[in-house]
Every structure is written in structure tokens, then in C-alpha cells.
A and B are shown apart, each in its own frame.
Chain A
Amino acid sequence: MIVGDSKPLEEILEMIKGRDKVLVLGCRGCVTVCNVGGEKEVGILATALRIARKKAGQPPTVDGMTLERQCDPEYIEELAEVAGDYDAIISIACGVGPQFVAERYPEAAVFPGINTTFIGGALEHGVWAERCQSCGNCLVHNFGGLCPIARCSKSLMNGPCGGSAKGNCEISPEVPCVWHQIVEKMEKMGRLQELEKVWPNKNWLTSRDGGPRKRVREDLKQ
């Protein structure tokens, strides 16, 4: 899933300063699963903003609404009736949400209420970790199922580097060295010799380095 963090309330309050009617817009996709932008978080943020408004003696009109997804035009359409009623729409979906809303409603003032941080998974309830950097050419099967692109601080294809110590990355004793894990895993699987292969430089054109990406699926297009 796409993982995000709530923006500090101070930052959000600053964004919507002087805008009377506010809509907090949630999404039932990834951000619901990582507890940062679903219906519940819409309620919490809208309530916190109303408290701030009431405290400042300002009109406390802060409503909440949660769409099925904010990355699909058909759901963004559900805002058509109400978008014009608000002086600010705070999207707490991933960064796609505020952009899709702003594209569809050019008159609306749209603000991001969360920081989109990474593609990852839940290690346990309340703990998430990065697992993929959407490089566009997945290679994890060569590394025991561990991604050296997203999980090695240097995205090394031929690791570990000299900074690997006691299983941890040189950037911090809190960060496991994925290359240490790759070697251990491959050894356990009896595939250590596969790591003798020297990987050429990765072609980053499939990643962000090739510019913004777009997929057209002729089989699905209407």
C-alpha cells in the first residue's frame, strides 16, 4: 500500500487560514489501511480543525466526506454537487488525491493534508516499512525476495558495501542492512553462489528517471 503521515495541524491550519468553509476529504484505499486518511481520520482532523476554529472564534464549518478512492475519476465525480460550496478542500488521500480533485474542479482550492511517504507494508499494527520504490523492473527474485533498490540505503545491486556492520546499515543501527539479509537468506536457501553474478548498472529509465510514467492498456481502454 501507499503509506503516509498526517501533516502537523499547525501546517494545515496555516494552509486554510482565512478560508471559512472547509471540507476534509478521505479515501477508502491505501490511506484507510494505513490509518492516515480514512473515514476515521477524516472525523479526527475535522473535529480538531473545528476545535481550532471555535477557539479562535471563527466560523467552525468543517465537514467531512470519504470517497471510495481518490485515484479514480468516477469517485471524484461524487464531489460535483458540493465542491463549489467550500473555500478549501483538504485531501487526506495520497498525493494523487489532491491532484485529481484539483484537476476535476479547477476552481477549488485543494490542499494536501498528509505527506505521502512510501510504498510498503505493515510489520505489525501501527508499524509500516518501505518495501518497493516502483523501479519499473522488478528483480527481487534474484535477491531472495528482498528488494535492494528500496531497502538498501544506496540502492546497491552488488552489495553489501563496506558500511554494513552487525547486520545493520551504516546510516543507523536502527536500519537493517538489506544486503546482510540477502546474503543470509540466499545462504539459507543454498543459493549463495548466485550472488557471484555481477550486476551491470541498473537501467533507471523504467523508474522515475525516465520522466513521469504513464501506462496505456489497450485491452482495457474503452
Chain B
Amino acid sequence: MRLQYPASVRVIQLPCSGRVDILHLLKAFEEGADGVYVAGCMEGDCHFLTGNFKARRKVNYVKKVLEQLGMEPERIEMYNMSSAEGPRFAQVAREFTQRIQELGPSPVKAAQAA
């Protein structure tokens, strides 16, 4: 299956979405990422039982941090998809990319460029 998804999406692989850390997510924003999303397995399908639920809670935490920093919480999102759903992966990548395009560049990057 060869599926197209936007080239602006950079995939970082982790053994489980539960491995993602609040610090990883914030670092991405510090380095100027316009948006970050975590793609975890379907709820109830985690090999480690609750990794994807934990990932969602961390994403929610970072949403609050972004809000407190005056940035749009929509710049970070959690998606659930099965590893057998290639088309859904590509669709989420397109959806999220469009959302971020609508929000525009990260204010972190914009201030650095100025």
C-alpha cells in the first residue's frame, strides 16, 4: 500500500504511545514545531494496556500548558488508529496538517524569525 501524506509531517517512532513524555512534546514546541500529534493504538488495544490512555492525558496536560503560554491548544492532538489502518494514518496526517495551516506558524518560530 503506497499512501501519500503531507511531507511536512515528521514521524518519530516510539515503542508505545505511552512512552511519549510531556517533555518530548514541549521540546518540539520549543524547537519551533507548528503542531504535534500523537498517534496511538485504538483505545482498548494497547499492548501495554493503558499506554494510549496515558498518552492522551499527557497531550491534555500539554494543551493546558500551551493555553497558559497563550498558544492555541489545538496545536497538539491525540489520535487513535490501528496499525492496520494505513489510509486512516494518511487521512489524520492530512487533517492535522490542514488544521495547523489554518492556525498558521507557531508564534515561537515567528518571534525567532523576526
Contacts and interface: CB of A to CB of B under 8 A. Distances in A.
Contact of A54 (B23, B65, B108): B108
Interface string B81-114: 0000000000000000000000000011001101
A8 B68 contact: yes
Interface in A37-75: 40, 43-44, 47-48, 50-52, 54-57
Contacts of B112: 54, 57
Contact of B27 (A47, A54, A56, A57): A47
B22 interface: yes
Contact of B69 (A44, A51, A57): A51
Interface string A9-23: 110000000000000
A81 B68 CA distance: 33
B16 to A, nearest CB: 18
Counting contact residues on chain A (CB < 8 A from B), the size range is 10 to 19
B70 interface: yes
Contacts of A48: 26, 65, 68-69
A47 B23 contact: yes
A50 B112 CA distance: 12
What 4 A-B pairs come out closest when comparing CB atoms? A9-B68, A57-B111, A47-B26, A54-B108
Contacts of B30: 47, 50-51, 54
A47 B30 CA distance: 7
Interface of A: 8-10, 40, 43-44, 47-48, 50-52, 54-57
B9 interface: no
B23 A44 contact: yes
B41 to A, nearest CB: 22
Nearest to A60: B30
Contact of B108 (A8, A43, A51): A51
B70 A55 contact: yes
B71 interface: yes
24 contacts: A9-B68, A9-B69, A40-B23, A43-B23, A44-B22, A44-B26, A44-B65, A47-B26, A48-B26, A48-B68, A51-B26, A51-B29, A51-B30, A51-B69, A51-B71, A51-B108, A52-B69, A54-B108, A54-B111, A54-B112, A55-B108, A56-B111, A57-B111, A57-B112
A125 to B, nearest CB: 11
A143 to B, nearest CB: 36
A57 B108 CA distance: 8
Contacts of A50: 30
Contact of A57 (B22, B65, B71, B114): B114
